[in-house]
Amino acid sequence: MSDKTQTEASSIVTAEGADGLPPELRSKMALALDVDDLVQALRLARQLSPWFGVAKVGLELYSAAGPDAVGALIDNGFEVFLDLKLHDIPTTVNKAATVCGALGASYVTFHAHGGAAMLRAGVEGLYAGAQNAELERPSAIGITVLTSDVDAPDHIVPNRLRVAVEAGCDGIVCAADDLKSIRELAPRTLRVVPGIRSEGAERHDQPRAVTPVTALENGADLLVVGRAVTLAEDPATAAAELFADVSA
């Protein structure tokens, strides 16, 4: 991280006195920091820390700040969900995953569309990178079908789930609609659900979005929340309202 970024980040004050979630629930909530500026991302993360224990770094923020984004969020007390959806030939994915494993992220995503050989190479690289850096083993997460894809045939999710599990992935990303079948097919698999929204809220490009309570009741292990709070006029108030029923 640059000296300038370190100075700006250190001036950001964590939300104090906010009624958030208990630790066991905060650890299930990932804040999607889909912005192109690290200082803005840190400001949002710190402001919303009473509700989120995990920070998701996607392509936008990673393209803007690179590995510094991961390190800065870890330094601020968050687990990091590195959502790069790695998808390439096995050798390339293996090498990229090895680098990701050494960054300290707790979760790293791979697109299951890449097939078993690619996923297996990615998992091996991810674990090796963490081991070489003397870090705890991160979780390899397979992407099944994007929540914006409403036309995917019914067989796609179970097929990609099978491939991900056979390749050694620890978990998968799926829509809430798929949770029941995934629990039945792979009960030990970590289940990550994006597109979380309040009832009746704007869904943006997440047509399969659900509320936090619905996702948790259906067996989600980690919820990803982004624009529902980050685009709000008052993000902290939006988070408090979104999780009101969860924390009750």
Q: Which tens digit of pLDDT belongs to each residue from 13-42?
A: 444 445 799 999 999 999 999 999 999 999
Confidence of residue 149 (pLDDT cuts 50, 70, 90): low
In a domain, 12, yes or no: no
The catalytic residues are: 85
Q: What percent of the chain has pLDDT over 90?
A: 71
Report the C-alpha gap between 127 and 101 in whole angstroms: 6
The CATH number linked to 27 is 3.20.20.70
> Mean of the pLDDT values across residues 232-244?
94
> How distant, in Å, are the alpha carbons of 18, 49, 158, 180, 219 from that of 185?
40, 34, 8, 9, 13
- Contacts of the segment 1-4: beta carbons below 8 A, 24+ positions apart: 1/38, 1/68, 1/71, 1/72, 2/68
Kindly give, in sequence order, each residue whose CB lies less than 8 Å from that of residue 227, ignoring residues fewer than 6 positions away.
32, 34, 204
Q: At which residue do the structure tokens 């009750």 appear?
A: 248
Length of the chain measured in residues: 248
In a domain, 13, yes or no: no
In a domain, 149, yes or no: yes
> Mean of the pLDDT values across residues 156-169?
92
Confidence of residue 153 (pLDDT cuts 50, 70, 90): low
Poorest-pLDDT segment among 6-10, 19-23, 41-45, 104-108: 6-10
pTM of the model as a whole: 0.88
Q: How many domains does the chain have?
A: 1
